[in-house]
Structure 1
């Protein structure tokens, strides 16, 4: 009795239903029954392309079972379910030659006798045809995606995106308001984690009804969809669906969220002046957060391993943080700050010019993509023509990043009382962002005898 293994594979199964592989298995079982073979094992690689280069663990397990004579034959729905790689075909041929009598039966293309020269030739021809079919399909798919992108149309399926209806074409007003809130809070300095916790506490869930996570918040805000655009191979196209936030706000979000590092996320959570803001007045080393033996929060200049401080400066955190918060609030109402912001508004003309330049260059990219999609130019011409345009856009965006106004104090200049009333309710990350807009660094000078908090020993160096 021949002991056979059934191999089934489907390239894409976004819903995880396995319907494609189940149909393959049913047909293969029927073929094995007609041949009088016993099905000893099933090998299923679901949602894995044979051409993608990804590891196929079940295919490798089947090959190992062949080597160890756990099975004597393979039943597969079609030869291209086994592999579309000529190299893998050659490996399978070499394995069969080494073992001897191994039969391969297919539901749709008959049997393959790899022990004979004729059988091996047929297998190689079928493999080459499968590879060409895969190449042609990939080319058609790439062109289809380019055409959809250039037209700004919806592509792909998957879960409903938060903020939009199931067809991806209409805005869900309640969810759009949440996205605008998230965008404003992130640009104002709130962390993704604090936003996720807040949304969950308010009973606001994702489009799938799940709790929010920091990565979920980031994924929504990093999407070009919410700005009414499609992104394809680094290019942006106006989409057919309406935007929820302006493109320039989306670009700022993507720059901000894309530049965050693990170090940012490991910052101490209960201290306002960490991250190099508070400096030792003796040695200029950054002071770090460290509770004392009574668990009181303190900032210290550390001379231990991994630190370059003198070890001769410390300050209680609570009164110092209250002092700097009050200093920042006072600064918001000063004429000096108002004058500095007037100077910064002189950059608005340059900002507008940069936005116009980016829009013009983006229009050129859209035109090139449309020409490529309509087969008026080839792929190499498309890629060559877009390189200098991309370079100009990148340069303009870097300049925009330096000129774009900082948002944490928007609405509070000259209105310090509003911020004072809201201060204790702000998240720590939001408070830090506000302080850093105004304060370049805070210098801690040596304390005078007496042990009381002395605000005169702390010198803020104002940024604006």
Structure 2
């Protein structure tokens, strides 16, 4: 029943208010049950309910806006309400200040307050007001104790490396071979509940197929300098399922079923940079146990990804996802103009063609050019001297020492915050310590990125034939192929036949290995 408007009111009504903090299914079963109890209590008291106010799935003590509660107060202030009936005091409020304000409003406008659990609170008498506030405090205390118990339990679970429950994380959850019974409609009457068997998963072990996918993401992002748009295009092209899609979960918002939205940059970024991906246990945003589980990505790779994805120089503006090997950003040069033009792909009557973005000359068919450039790349990738093009890893970087140093600086930030809270240091000193720690952490992340940034050419070292190189080439995304071409060669496009490819119109210059610097 919807609360009446002022225009329709002719006499003051006895009204009911119901609220539940968490309605996962959106079926309003909790508030409906409260209204049934209130209706029965009101009928027995001879004061039938004339209007209902309901706030479903809204907490009374986390600052959430309760629309019907506010409407109830407004209607009471306008003289529309004779009495309010609830199942218990904490349905109205769990904050003492809010409770006192409600008492003032109800007393000012002669509104009586009834509870199914206690009867009438005589708000005009000290004892009635004390009983109401005491019941609010008891509910507040019980909620606080429960919250503290849950927090401590979650912290213990994190410290021991135990899974804390919730939705399965992408990359984790290996079937154990056991099953458990799950109720599909736990709030239904006992004789109407439905059960299904679901597999029991070991959430401390990486799921092989999803872990491999995560490693592929990391490799591609490091190889393509953080090209997230290209990565997402590849994920969608391969038909990679999210956890909800893979596990057949039904998503609901506001009680209504909604479609799975698929992958996005925020989700991929969160997976790749979360401490859990390197096997660390986290509680309230802080790592409290290192190496609690097997790592999917090494810590140095995770730090390299954090550095890369936080780099302001990384291109993040939306645009067309590249589909061609040598267009613009990985660019081939135009060989027909003197303005250092670069070729990009345009469409004409012949299809997609490479054309100079400055002089508009060229018009070479893009599919044929890409096929030829790819063949040249595979031939180069199959040579035994490929290793000379690969920048060797930094042997001077001690990854373990850097990780320990980063942990020490993070601990220093925590200790300085505690010192400030105790009054041992002032705000200026706190900000100085944190700024220096952040600077050092940023430097360490940069060094870790250098240690983890493998060349995309590494996977071709075992390909001794063009056929073997072509097989590896075929497994790479277009973003990785574009980066490989950039590392292998410079391409200049001349004017050619608009209907076939003439290799002589593509000037390809192989890149040479950097000369070693001899020690003095």
Superposed pair shares fold, TM > 0.5: yes
CA distance in 2, matches of 1:54, 1:362: 37
SS in 1 for 2:351: coil
Residue 456 of structure 2: which of 408, 411, 420 is its match?
Answer: 408
Q: Which moved more, 1:220-229 or 1:258-267?
A: 258-267
Compared CA separation, residues 35 and 199, structure 1 to 2 (3 A): same
Please tell me whether residue 320 in structure 1 is matched to residue 330 in structure 2: no
Cα distance in 2 for partners of 1:97, 1:290 equals 76
Task: After TM superposition, list the pairs within 5 Å mapping 1:120-135 onto structure 2.
Answer: none
The answer for the alignment partner of 2:54 in structure 1 is 43
Structure whose residues are more often strand by fraction: 2
Per the TM alignment, residue 412 of structure 1 is displaced from its structure 2 partner at its CA by: 0.4
> What residue number does 1:206 align with?
246
**How many angstroms does 1:182 deviate by?**
0.3
**1:173-212 equivalent positions in 2, closer than 5 A:** 176-189=207-220, 191-199=231-239, 206-208=246-248
From 63, 66, 81, give the equivalent of 1:53: 63
Q: Is the 8 A contact 2:456 2:484 kept in 1?
A: yes
The structure-2 alpha-carbon separation of the partners of 1:135 and 1:205, relative to structure 1 and needing over 3 Å to count, comes to closer
Report the TM-score, using the length of structure 1 for normalisation: 0.70
Instruction: Return the offset for 1:399.
Output: 1.8
Q: Which residue of 1 aligns with 2:172?
A: 163
CA distance in 2, matches of 1:159, 1:14: 18
**Cα 1:258/1:111, change in 2 over 3 Å:** farther
Matched, 1:357 2:366: no
Distance 1:399 1:30, change over 3 A: farther
State the Cα deviation string for residues 24-44 of structure 1 (Å, max 9, x = none): 445434433333333322513
- Asked whether 1:266 is paired with 2:348, we answer no
Task: Answer yes or no: is 1:348 the counterpart of 2:404.
Answer: no
Counterpart of 1:225 in structure 2 is 276
Q: CA deviation at 1:178?
A: 0.6
- Pairing 1:275-290 to 2, within 5 Å after superposition: 276-278=329-331, 281=334, 282-284=338-340, 287-290=343-346
Give me the whole-angstrom Cα distance separating, in 2, the residues matched to 1:74 and 1:378: 50
Render the CA deviation track for 1:395-414: whole Å, top value 9, x for unaligned.
32232123323353332036
Q: Which residue of 378, 382, 388 maps to 1:339?
A: 388
Gaps of 5+ in 2: 1-11, 175-198, 221-229, 251-259, 514-520
* 1:203-261 deviations in Å (ceiling 9; x for gaps): x9623468893247666555543432222344322365444554444555666677798
| Counterparts in 2 of 1:131 and 1:320: CA distance versus 1, 3 Å | same
Distance (whole Å) between structure 2 residues aligned to residue 408 and residue 158 of structure 1: 34
| CA shift in 2, pair 1:6/1:455, >3 Å | farther
Aligned to 2:352: 297
Instruction: Write 1 or 2 for the structure with the bigger share of helix.
Output: 1
Which runs of structure 2 are paired with 1:411-422 in the superposition (5 Å)?
A: 411-413=459-461, 415=463, 417=466, 418-422=468-472
Task: Report if aligned partners of 2:13, 2:82 keep a CA contact under 8 Å in 1.
Answer: yes
Query: How far does residue 358 in structure 1 lie from its aligned partner after superposition?
Result: 0.8
Aligned residues: 436
**Shift in Å, 1:284:** 4.3
Structure 1, unmatched stretches of 5+, are: 303-309, 372-376
Determine if the alignment matches structure 1 residue 428 to structure 2 residue 478: yes
Cα separation, partners in 2 of 1:311 and 1:37, compared to 1, 3 Å? farther
Q: Of 100, 113, 116, which aligns to 1:104? A: 113
Partner Cα separation in structure 1 for residue 154 and residue 388 of structure 2: 50
Q: Deviations over 1:39-72 (max 9, x none)?
A: 32251321x3333223334444545555677755
- Of the three residues 84, 92, 103, the one matched with 1:74 is 84
RMSD: 4.9
